[in-house]
């Protein structure tokens, strides 16, 4: 081990990262017989937790049109009336309504070649949150829960997973949840980012609150002794999480009143914009995964008017979040992803709308080691298919895991006794990272 430390000192002077040091120590320790492979996995996970990596998912519920967001087709019949504007990266253009995002394009990797087969809202939402097609036999954990399970710090006394805003299904991430990972990784719901969550204040003093918890514990113990151990265990886990939140000084992270009014204005007055500001505060406080939802992008009619309005609600918050994270030195350790469940048809329907279209759509990544100022893949000139470098949902999920230092092939055991990988198939899109 001492030799490994000496090697770390030598290599660190040459710019070896902390992650590289952990690999060096682990390899040396295994060779020396002082650490088992299981020990190394534990050391690796602990190191990731100390790094404070996190992810913010900006979820566009309903399926945003790629042609009115980050893959416009001006001049083509399928492009409709949407114009393109330049960004701060020469050669990259996006739809005209995204004026603020255009100013931070140097931090963004725009994937224009996402492709999938699921074109029904609930099934596609489930897949784009879990990586799996819905199955009646198992409830797959959401990616956010899987990530928290792998790298969230047990020392943080506020929830490791938070969902902000409304969404399809009304619970969890677009109707999904922690699944078989259990209540410890269920998302904490925040309906309105502009005010504190309900019931987080201790009424009548902390002493009385703790006495009531003690009384509850006695009642639960009696029930557990009569055969209710599993129910009591889950109930206690939920109460333990709630108690940590109620008693934690970090609960102030949910209070936007601490923020300067000028910064609030940069994020925009919409609930989504304030949700993005709250997301930044939460990752700063130690939360591992935050989803901020916005909808509905299901523009079967009046597509051009609707997407202009929707983009106006999302654009300021999206751009301000990227700039704010960068200014605070958090962007390198925080992955930001913008996406929805699928795209929209290139051909405009008779109602002036676009219908469901999973064959080709777009997603955007920033931070977390992702190389900004680039476009990954492309759609054809008419927008009907992927032209080159297709990216599947498993590919995207593997890339997200790579950014956060999570092994996508890691297996967790389902209640049916079946090992389930975090991501089933796919590969990292290497060009995302330089």
Number of domains in the chain: 3
Closest among 400, 11, 413, 356 to 181, alpha carbons compared: 413
Same domain, 41 and 141: no
Is the pLDDT assigned to residue 410 strictly greater than 70? yes
* Interval 274-294 mean pLDDT: 97
Q: What is the per-residue pLDDT for 166?
A: 73
Confidence of residue 207 (pLDDT cuts 50, 70, 90): low
Same domain, 261 and 134: yes
Q: State which of 36, 51, 66 marks the end of a domain.
A: 51
Same domain, 234 and 277: no
State the chain's mean pLDDT as an integer. Answer: 85
Same domain, 79 and 46: no
Same domain, 156 and 176: yes
- Could you list the beta-strand ranges (E) of 63-165: 84-86, 93-95, 108-114, 161-164
Q: State which of 13, 35, 51 marks the end of a domain.
A: 51
CATH number (domain holding residue 264): 3.40.720.10
Same domain, 21 and 57: no
Q: Considering only the C-alpha atoms of the chain, give the largest distance between any 2 of them, rounded to a whole number of Å.
A: 72
Same domain, 58 and 179: yes
Helix (H, G, I), strand (E, B) or coil at 327: helix
| Domain assignment of residue 245, given as a range | 201-250
Same domain, 143 and 282: yes
Same domain, 371 and 297: yes
Number of Cβ atoms within 10 Å of the Cβ of 88:
12
Give me the helices (H) in 158-302, please.
206-225, 229-247, 261-267, 271-285
Same domain, 104 and 174: yes
Contacts of 31 (CB under 8 A, 6+ apart): none
Same domain, 208 and 164: no
What does pTM read for this prediction?
0.83
Q: Which pairing describes strands 188-190 and 161-164: parallel, antiparallel, or unpaired?
A: parallel
Q: State which of 31, 51, 71 marks the end of a domain.
A: 51
CB 186 within 8 A of CB 136: no
% the chain with pLDDT above 70: 75
Tell which wins on pLDDT, 37 or 49.
49
Helix (H, G, I), strand (E, B) or coil at 296: coil
Ramachandran category for residue 140: left, alpha or beta (phi over 0 → left; psi -120 to 50 → alpha): beta
Same domain, 177 and 205: no
Is the pLDDT assigned to residue 30 strictly greater than 60? no
| Most confident of the following: 173-182, 235-244, 308-317 | 308-317
């Amino acid at each position: 081990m001492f030799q490994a430390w000496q090697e770390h000192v030598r290599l660190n002077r040459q710019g070896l990262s902390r992650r590289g040091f952990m690999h060096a120590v682990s390899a040396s320790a295994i060779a020396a017989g002082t650490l088992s492979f299981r020990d190394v996995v534990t050391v690796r996970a602990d190191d990731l937790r100390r790094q404070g990596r996190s992810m913010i998912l900006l979820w566009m519920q309903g399926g945003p049109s790629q042609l009115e967001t980050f893959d416009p087709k001006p001049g083509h019949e399928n492009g409709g009336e949407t114009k393109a504007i330049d960004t701060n990266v020469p050669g990259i253009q996006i739809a005209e309504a995204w004026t603020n995002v255009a100013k931070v394009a140097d931090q963004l990797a725009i994937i224009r070649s996402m492709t999938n087969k699921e074109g029904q809202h609930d099934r596609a939402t489930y897949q784009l949150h879990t990586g799996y097609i819905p199955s009646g036999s198992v409830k797959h954990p959401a990616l956010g829960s899987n990530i928290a399970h792998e790298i969230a710090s047990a020392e943080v006394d506020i929830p490791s997973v938070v969902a902000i805003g409304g969404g399809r299904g009304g619970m969890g991430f677009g109707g999904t949840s922690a699944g078989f990972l259990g209540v410890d990784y269920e998302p904490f719901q925040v309906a309105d980012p502009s005010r504190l969550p309900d019931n987080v204040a201790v009424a009548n003093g902390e002493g009385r609150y703790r006495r009531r918890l003690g009384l509850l514990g006695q009642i639960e113990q009696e029930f557990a002794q009569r055969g209710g151990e599993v129910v009591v265990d889950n109930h206690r886990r939920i109460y333990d999480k709630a108690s940590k939140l109620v008693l934690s000084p970090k609960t102030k992270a949910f209070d936007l009143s601490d923020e300067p009014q000028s910064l609030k204005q940069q994020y925009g007055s919409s609930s989504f914009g304030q949700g993005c500001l709250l997301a930044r505060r939460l990752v700063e406080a130690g939360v591992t995964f935050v989803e901020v939802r916005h909808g509905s992008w299901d523009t079967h009619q009046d597509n051009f008017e609707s997407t202009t309005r929707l983009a106006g609600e999302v654009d300021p918050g999206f751009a301000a979040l990227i700039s704010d994270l960068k200014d605070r030195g958090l962007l390198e350790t925080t992955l930001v992803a913008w996406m929805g469940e699928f795209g929209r048809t290139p051909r405009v329907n008779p109602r002036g709308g676009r219908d469901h279209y999973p064959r080709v759509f777009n997603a955007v990544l920033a931070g977390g080691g992702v190389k900004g100022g680039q476009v990954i893949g492309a759609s054809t000139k008419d927008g009907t298919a992927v032209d080159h470098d297709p990216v599947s949902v498993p590919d995207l999920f593997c890339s997200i895991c790579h950014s956060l230092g999570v092994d996508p092939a890691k297996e967790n055991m389902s209640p049916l006794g079946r090992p389930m990988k975090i991501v089933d198939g796919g590969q990292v899109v290497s060009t995302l990272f330089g």
